[in-house]
Structure 1
């Protein structure tokens, strides 16, 4: 089982008291569903999952499953420095009704090739859920193509890859598809990976422009290559602007500017400043996004 299309990594709104604002969270989830996204990725880096407790992450997965109500799959992000915490998150997500997980490699520790492979195979055995691997530079070293092949050979539950190394993305598609769906983690490369046979993207910009990545993907599927390229060109300035400072501060700043309830980030992150917003507003104006305040 694999998911195809745009999978937004949804932000988690925190109130002034630091608690999760589940009403605002639900509103944003509905907005993502109504935009035509293929699923919802919860507790990812964009959602500040690593800044939450295990109970909070589980509560977010439960909330997302209730809001989605089977309309789209809910994919819970899991991963910590210890097997124990990761397994707890995996099994909690399964009990909550998630359709799958996105597993992040342990961070801080520099794992060997064998340790990386064994970790994902081991995590895949802890539930019946299919899983996506997030192949990112922020953890124990990026997985190379032969490592990904070894994991795919060892467990059929490995169904998707959020590829953070765009240099090897097309080769991963060639060697692992269709068993493993390959998604770009870089919103600026959606059209490029689609043309190489990729299955979609796990996006952060969808929080701000939920329809644009969906329209881009639909144009690709319809064979409208020029339109897909034009939509990618329209998306790129926004995608770049949203990562100019500590992530996801700019995303939440823009959402709040537009009247969507994004709340605050959690320390050690700091909220977007007025100076940050002054740099972002011209880009929003180009897409005719204006404040509702």
Structure 2
């Protein structure tokens, strides 16, 4: 396709879940966090993801995080959320529809652990395309296992026209470059997931990033991304500060 209908770009925090002492979700704290994000020039937010501890939550808690994010953000920018939970594809499709019904703009799909080849995964993802109407995304969540989709499979999904966001986690610059080329003329926005590779990916044509550091220093990331897109010579210096802060975060 020569034109895209995709506006997904910029910096995307991957939302955490605050808790009360009894381990119930601290909705007031969650709302205050989202109010802060809503004051910033973000590309969007990703609710119900690994940073949200999605695998430790009940379905009701997952849906609560999504609906509260949508209420607070109030269409200022997109809210996307993971949808494929359950023990088989039928259960996944059922919950994907529930997430779509909340109004989440994109339902993100992790790599299911019950498929182990790209051939099986292609059938899985295209079955979801066939049996749902939702705008879909790809999330190569490194938990409970790390699996990077093959380039051919990514192209199939991009060419389907039904996938709009790709949170990619390989940390391999050669792969990143190829994926940007594959997705550049499709609806699928390549949103790289690791801060040390963000600026280089942006210089190669990536439209944005979904990453953990955006949770606490989104304003710095926004500036690095902006300067990178503009070709500002100071982008690298500012990016060095960002990467240093991100490394400090990882050491905690």
TM-score, normalised with respect to structure 2:
0.89
- Counterpart check, 1:192 vs 2:187: no
Pairing of 1:18-33 with structure 2 (within 5 A):
18-33=23-38
1:111 is displaced (CA, Å) by 1.5
Provide the rounded CA distance (Å) in 1 between the counterparts of 2:158 and 2:49.
22
Q: Is the 8 A contact 2:82 2:108 kept in 1?
A: yes
Unpaired runs of at least 5, structure 2: none
Q: Deviations over 1:233-255 (max 9, x none)?
A: 111122223334xxxxxxxxxxx
Provide the rounded CA distance (Å) in 1 between the counterparts of 2:25 and 2:131.
28
Q: Is the 8 A contact 1:33 1:39 kept in 2?
A: no
Q: Is the 8 A contact 2:115 2:121 kept in 1?
A: no
- Counterpart check, 1:234 vs 2:246: no
The residue aligned with 1:89 is: 95
Provide the rounded CA distance (Å) in 1 between the counterparts of 2:116 and 2:66.
29
The residue aligned with 1:205 is: 213
Q: Deviations over 1:261-281 (max 9, x none)?
A: xxxxxxxxxxxxxxx4xxxxx
TM-score, normalised with respect to structure 1:
0.77
1:70 is displaced (CA, Å) by 1.0
Q: Is the 8 A contact 2:192 2:201 kept in 1?
A: yes
The residue aligned with 1:37 is: 42
Unpaired runs of at least 5, structure 1: 245-275, 277-293
1:124 is displaced (CA, Å) by 3.0
Equivalences, count: 242
Provide the rounded CA distance (Å) in 1 between the counterparts of 2:234 and 2:16.
28
1:85 is displaced (CA, Å) by 3.8
Provide the rounded CA distance (Å) in 2 between the counterparts of 1:52 and 1:137.
18
The alpha-carbon distance between structure 1 residues 110 and 84, as it changes in their structure 2 partners (threshold 3 A), is closer
Q: Deviations over 1:25-81 (max 9, x none)?
A: 011111112121111100111111111011110111111111111111110122334
Residue among 112, 120, 133 paired with 1:115 = 120
Provide the rounded CA distance (Å) in 1 between the counterparts of 2:110 and 2:208.
19
Q: Is the 8 A contact 2:199 2:225 kept in 1?
A: yes
Provide the rounded CA distance (Å) in 2 between the counterparts of 1:104 and 1:200.
19
Pairing of 1:151-162 with structure 2 (within 5 A):
151-153=157-159, 155-162=160-167
Cα-Cα RMSD: 1.8
